[in-house]
Structures are given as structure tokens and as C-alpha cells.
Amino acid sequence: MASALDTPTREELLARLRFYRDLGLTEFYRRPVDPALLARLSVAPEQTAAHPANDSSSLDSNIHSQEDQPIPPRKTIPLAPEIAAAVPAADRAAALQSIRDEIGECTRCPLHKGRNMLVFGDGSPTARLMFVGEGPGADEDAQGLPFVGKAGQLLNNMITAMGLRREDVYIANVVKCRPPGNRVPEQEEGATCSPFLFRQIDVVRPQVLVALGATAATWLLGARQPLAGLRGRIHSVRGTQLIVTYHPAYLLRDPRQKKEAWADLQIAMKELGLKPPGKS
Ligand code: SF4
């Protein structure tokens, strides 16, 4: 069993993983580790100092033998369900409610264990623009609504800058329960929950979808690709145009990228025939 990391190391590791996630690198391989090697690594320094040469060469050879082990195959993103029949605009609110009722107090994947509130979605059932994020954070988990924390405030500002109100758009996530520590949803969690998102998309039938961050783009497109290669162009998903941009949480960490995100949103605005407020 691996020994627990001390708090500073753990925080440093989490920060590094978040950085990679923002770049669209969301999959990491953990090689099977020989418990005997871990036991030796946790030996007290004075013990290793007594036999430095032996310990160093032995650890090196152990580590190299670990590296010789094959990397496990990449898990594929499952195929999205077939596109459902169109729902008349007047029936879309009821259709969304019926999906919510079907989800119920869901225990279909392990994320239910840590949630306070399930976050289904929010906004207009007939929205022309729909945003898709990764999953609820702490604020969303507490309130049962998507994008209500600091990242949500930034998303609201982005929506306003587009000349829309939050209630004009629809917002949902790939998973509806908060992953512990805001980690990226596991393959099984995304595979179990994303069919509900696809059904929401099929009901709302937005003219334009905006994927906020690499995880949303991955599950909507059914393939893992770095965010940089997905931004700046229009994709097609479920008969809808898809624009990929940064997650607002990333923009809070690196505000220099807001200009890039605005360029992405302008592609969406062009498709929707929108002009920023104050411009005719
Ligand atoms: Fe159910 Fe989705 Fe929550 Fe998992 S994340 S428990 S599938 S609602």
C-alpha cells in the first residue's frame, strides 16, 4: 500500500495536475508499483546512509524494472447514445423534468457517495446557446445549481458580454455530482452520467454548444484531444455546432487567456447572429 503524501507535496502535485488538465492532458498512467520498493523508499534516511551505494544501485534497478512494465491501454470514450427525436418547444421543460425524475437520487456511479446535492442543469429549455462544463464544484454541490461560485460569476460575465442573460442559456455538466477534490471525473463516472447530458442536449437542441474545458470537449466529441487543437473552429455534435473554449476556473487562474476565450465566444456569437451590447 502506498504511503500517504505529506500536505505540501500533495498540494504541489494537485496544482501540477490541474495545470495539465487545463492544457487538456487529463489521462495519467500509474504503473503497478512493487510494495517492496515502496517499503524501501520509506526507510529512514539514517538507514539508507549506512549503505548508500547498495541502496542506490538496488533502487535504480528496481525503478528501471518498474519502467519496463507495459503501460496499460488507454480507456476509450464510449459511443454517445443515438440522437433522440426532437421535442416541441412547448414540451421541453417537461421533458427535462422527466430526465431529472429518472435520475432521481442517483447511485449509479461512485460520485453519489460524496455529493450533497445533485446538479442537474439550469436555464432555458429552449435556449439557442448551451454551455457544458465538467462537473459541480463545492459551491455548486452546496446549492444544487451549475456554475454558481467564482467560476460561475465569470461565466455570467461572459454571457452578459455576449449580449445575453443567464436565463437565456442552458448550462449543464458532464457529471452531475461533485468529484472529490474537484478531480477530473473517472472514465466510469463520465460513461455512466454523460448519457443524461446527451439527453438534455437532445431536448434543448441548442443552435450552439460551448464546451468549457478539455473534459467537456472530450465527452462531447468522444475523443481525447488537447484543448489547443480544438479551439478556434466549429465542430459538429448531435446535429449542433460545438465551440470549445477554456473553463472559467482556468481563466481565473490565468486571466491572460480571457482574450482567447473571448475570441472563441465570438465564433459562437457569429453563428447565433449576436453582437456585444452597445454595438448595432
Ligand atoms: Fe448518478 Fe451522475 Fe451522480 Fe454518478 S454523477 S451518481 S451517474 S447523477
The pLDDT profile of the chain, 280 residues, written as one tens digit per residue, is 445 778 877 777 777 777 666 665 655 655 556 666 666 665 554 444 444 444 444 445 554 555 556 655 667 888 899 999 999 999 999 999 999 999 999 999 999 999 999 999 999 999 999 999 999 999 999 999 999 999 999 999 999 999 999 999 999 999 999 999 999 999 999 999 999 999 999 999 999 999 999 999 999 999 988 999 999 999 999 999 999 999 999 999 999 999 999 999 999 999 999 987 776 5
The answer as to whether 79 is a domain residue is no
Pocket lining: 231 vs ligand 1, CB cutoff 6 Å: no
Same domain, 258 and 134: yes
Q: What is the domain-level CATH number for residue 139?
A: 3.40.470.10
Q: How many domains does the chain have?
A: 2
| 278 domain-assigned | no
Instruction: Please tell me what DSSP assigns to residue 129.
Output: E
Ligand 1 proximity of 109 Cβ (cutoff 6 Å): yes
Residue 17 in domain:
no
Q: Kindly give the distance from the C-alpha atom of residue 126 to the centroid of ligand 1, in angstroms, as a whole number.
A: 24
Residue nearest to atom 2 of ligand 1 (CA): 193
Domain C-terminal end among 11, 42, 71: 71
Is the separation of the CB atoms in 151 and 247 below 8 Å?
yes
Domain of residue 59, residue span: 32-71
Q: Is 175 in the pocket of ligand 1 (CB under 6 A)?
A: yes
Q: Is the CB of 194 under 6 A from ligand 1?
A: no
- 112 CB near ligand 1 (under 6 Å): yes
List the strands of the sheet with 122-123, edge to edge. Answer: 122-123, 170-173, 129-133, 208-212, 240-245, 235-237
Q: What confidence tens digit (pLDDT) does each residue in 136-185 have?
A: 999 999 999 999 999 999 999 999 999 999 999 999 999 999 999 999 99
